[in-house]
Structure 1
Amino acid sequence: MDRTAPGYRALAALPLSERRTALRESVVAEFRTALLLGDGEELALDANYFDLGLTSLRATELKQRLEQRFGAGINEALLFESPT
């Protein structure tokens, strides 16, 4: 874990009660980018992202962006086995 990563530092600066919401919002923002969604388009948290157009290449890029942002490794299988 890289405690100097920007996303890690931003979360660590928040009160514990606000971290989960902030993390969820950051992850959703990255998914919105990967899915090329516009500002007005909704993204349901329980949607199958592959049905919405996420490709394996974009999933890998998404994984890398999240790892860089938060300084923590993400198991790639998680994106493919739990696509919601």
Structure 2
Amino acid sequence: MWRDVAGNKPYVSFIHLNLLDDPDAPIKRHRFGVETGVNGLISELKAMRNAGVNHIGLHFRRNELPIEWALKHIGEHVLPKFHN
């Protein structure tokens, strides 16, 4: 429906993320976001990409572990799945 209205303009979405230490923690949905490990986050981001989302912002307000840890794990395990 976005493409019908906006044409080729990028579609942006946001996720309130609580990244868990267990990489295989299943996705638990909450309002505007998810609680999951890196593998669940990869799955969620791929699904959003397949649905036509061009840009995704991650909000860490709900993150229970140190932000430095979460950013490091996303950089090491998630981003390489989306960038060559």
TM-score bracket relative to the smaller structure: 0.3 to 0.5
Greater length-normalized contact order (CA 8 Å, ≥ 6 residues apart):
1
Structure (1 or 2) with the greater strand fraction? 2
Query: TM-score normalized by structure 1?
Result: 0.33
TM-score w.r.t. the length of structure 2 is: 0.33
